[in-house]
Amino acid sequence: MRPGGKTAPSDLQLKIVLDGTRPPLWRRLVVPSDTSLGTLHEAIQVAFGWDSDHLHLFSDEFGRGYGDAARLTDIDLGFGRGVGDEDATALGDVLAEDGARLRYVYDFGDGWEHRITLEKTLPRPVGAQRTVRCVGGRRAGVPAEDIGGVWALAEVLELLDAPDGAADGPYHELIDELRAAGYDPAAFDRDGITARLAQLTPDTVSGKAKPSPGDRAGHGGARRLTAEDLTLCTWGQCRVGDPVDAGVDGPAEDVPVLRPVTLAPQEDLVAAVHGVPLFDAALRLAAWCHEGRQVTADRVLRPALAREAVEELQLWKLADDDSPYVDAVARARTLKSLRSAKDVAFLDDSWWLAVDGGMITITGGRAWGGAATDFTGEELLEFWAATIGDLLEEIGETGVLDGWHGELGELTAEIADGLVGLLYDAPDDAWVDVDDLRAKTREVGENGPEFDLFQALFAVSFRELGEGLALLGAVEYEPGDGDDSAEEALRMLLNAMGGQEHGRSGTSSAASNRSRDDRRGGRMRLTPLGRYGLRAYLMECGVPAPLLGELAEADADALLQGLLGYSSEEMRREVEGWLEHRSAADAAVGLLDACAGDGPESAAKRAVAQLVLADFDDPRALRVLRKAAASDVEGCRQVATTTLGARLGAEARVDPARADEAGLWLLIDGLSILAGAQESEELTRGFLENWNTAPEALEQQVDELWRVEHPATAQVLAELGEGLRGVDKRLAKRMRTAANKAHSRW
């Protein structure tokens, strides 16, 4: 903060993705936080090459719309109270914290949707000029408007790449114009975009529209699951406090809850980035350009300098073993004939990594870099995480097979996405083996060409993902015996399914499967650096990825919410760290206080509190439990009574009948979390899994459940009565009878 309470000036780094484009078309812009959404609209128009000929609209995570209010007056956009004035709304008010999101729709007919994410907030030096600039991106802007949206764009690009063009189709004139102009959809002109953005003059808007604390989505731009949301979750898959994507399309469904992990110290992670050959080469290239090196019009090193860099920095060590660059004589001959730095893949990859990461800047026909010591610490680690995030995002959009889009691309994207989850969920140092995974799919018992195709796609996706992540140091990858022929085998299978001739005619699917089964498949395991990168990516996507130990200084209420979904061992380790910061008596007081309250959220906390308090054996903590058991505070009393009742000997000091009564109350309490979800299956499963008394005791106590003085008793019993129909008709009938009694009692 500045003196006088004014917020210090800052810039916002935004990643803007044009939804539905494959490969993804995106821009990374840096915009003053105190400028308006109207300025951002102008910047997007420039960055993506739009003509501003159509209407547009911003919408935030809270369902509020912003735009040109005068032009949108007569259009029903479904925002109830109308659309806010974009020119009077500060960008920093709408994107209030890192991870927050916006949607920007341009041309309501074609429906070009842009997804905007605040990646980071950057301090602006005092006196620095307020500008809008482009610092990254991928692919050329959309070549034309009014073509029908992203699906039409995909068709245009496909036709542009086809030898016979568009023939006489609806896009033939556009295709001819694009070819004549030399349009390259893969080209990204950052300097040109920045030059055009420099002509914008960002306005200044005072903050007026910050959402109230109660409306804030929370860190990462995602709202948190409430107790009411739990009724929509499957058993054990969601928990109170989980973040959920709350964009204009509504909350995402089935948000996974990943196990808590530990991360390596930052200094170890930074050292690991330096140990990644590709990043090490980029750093050395930056240092090599410290005094400036001449570049071509394509912004790459001139051929003579490219030869010098390969030899002097020994970049040839990045080449594959069968590359001519490995042998000194062949390398000299190959370099002598080099006509462009772009022709050396390992140089080109590390060069653009350094340029895109800001390690090298290009001005006045020269490339300027900094010393290797300029790129250390947290900044380097964040850049590495952003690089792996870009890789995973592109895989999520297009799959792992270059040029194989459509349904195959979508399927390989889903396979790769699942593999990322398996990698992250695997224990430290554990290998994820493709043979094990394929064996599990065979257990399903499916057969036929479609299943063979899935197996082949899975093998190729595993290899491509492993090689890509290994290049960034995120995994250790060991290829299998048949990895080199995996993609060719996939093509042969696709040809066979299409009725085309392929290689050995008459080779059956079963025979080919037996041949593949004799080969050892590849395997990979996550490195500490990879775990850091995958966690950063998952968090950016709104997936909860907790850290062990992050609750050590939290209050008891936050601890109980955070422990939902932890395994018993993870819970034990987290609680041990939490207890190191407080006495056992204070911990018991806090935990029992957090047990008070009504509703599913409080019920979930009480379920966890019982597990945590069960291990307390400090005499002072036991005194706290006995005092709470004698209190009249609902929730606290039952948890304390049940905890004491589970103990043997004189230290319990609780009447067994009272302990049984409290146990029944907590049974209803726990089941109430699942009540009201319109589905009785999960509630029934919870009842059967949690009822640990003998059958004869159940016979005696079922008829007493209606007497439990819990607000949800009648509802829980009624839903159990329905859910148990297919399990035990007699018991189901007794549950319905008990529910009727509970209704009449209340």
pLDDT digits (tens, 9 = 90+) for 122-155: 887 666 788 999 988 888 898 888 898 888 888 8
- Residue 454 above 50 pLDDT? yes
What is the rounded CA–CA span in Å between residue 563 and residue 565?
6
Domain boundaries, the chain: 10-139+188-197, 222-251, 266-377, 381-540, 548-660, 674-746
Tell me, what's the pLDDT at 698? 57
- CA-CA distance, 642 to 668, in Å (whole number)? 14
What pLDDT is attached to residue 681? 67
What's the rounded Cα separation, in Å, for the pair 355 and 136? 9
Average pLDDT over every residue of 483-511: 51
Residue 446 binned pLDDT confidence (cut-offs 50, 70, 90) = low
CA–CA separation, 39 and 65 (whole Å): 16
> Using 50, 70 and 90 to split pLDDT, how confident is the model at 651?
low
Partners of 631 in the β-ladder: none
Query: In which band, very low, low, confident or very high, does the pLDDT at 217 lie, cut at 50, 70 and 90?
Result: very low
Using CA atoms, how far apart are residues 506 and 235, in angstroms rounded to an integer? Answer: 48
pLDDT at 100 over 90: no
How many percent of the chain have pLDDT more than 90?
29
Q: Which two tokens stand for residue 476?
A: 């250790």
**228-268, pLDDT tens digit by residue?**
333 333 223 333 333 333 333 333 344 556 788 999 999 99
pLDDT of residue 351: 93
Residue 5: pLDDT above 60? no
pLDDT at 38 (0 to 100): 94
Q: Environment class of residue 45 by beta-carbon count within 10 Å: exposed (0-12), middle (13-18) or buried (19+)?
A: middle
Q: What is the mean pLDDT of the chain?
A: 79
Given this model, what pLDDT does residue 213 score? Answer: 32
Q: Is the peptide bond before 202 cis (omega within 30 degrees of 0)?
A: no
Q: Spell out the long-range contacts of 431-436 with Cβ–Cβ below 8 A and sequence spacing 24 or more.
A: 431/523, 431/524, 431/525, 432/523, 432/524, 432/525, 433/521, 433/523, 434/458, 434/459, 434/462, 434/480, 434/521, 434/522, 434/523, 435/480, 435/520, 435/521, 435/523
pLDDT band of residue 652 (cuts 50, 70, 90) is low
CA 225 to chain centre: 16
Q: Of 349, 281, 354, nearest to 315 (Cα)?
A: 281
| pLDDT (mean) for 641-651 | 75
Q: With CA atoms as reference, report the closest residue to 734 among 685, 709, 700.
A: 700
Contacting residues for 595 by C-beta, under 8 A, at least 6 apart = 602, 605, 606, 609, 635, 636, 639
Helix (H) or strand (E) holding 133: strand 133-138
Q: What does each C-alpha distance from 147 to 50, 104, 139, 153 come to in angstroms?
A: 13, 19, 18, 7
Q: Return the amino acid letter for 583.
A: S
Determine the CATH number of domain 10-139+188-197: 3.10.290.30
Q: What is the pLDDT of residue 146?
A: 87
Read off the pLDDT band of 566 (50, 70, 90): confident
Residue 507: its pLDDT value, please?
Answer: 41
Q: Is the pLDDT of residue 24 over 80?
A: no
CB 119 within 8 A of CB 98: yes
Summarised one tens digit per residue, pLDDT across range 389-427 is 888 877 876 677 665 545 676 777 788 888 888 899 888
Segment 524-543 shows an average pLDDT of 87
Helix (H) or strand (E) holding 368: strand 366-369
Secondary element (H or E) of residue 196: helix 190-197
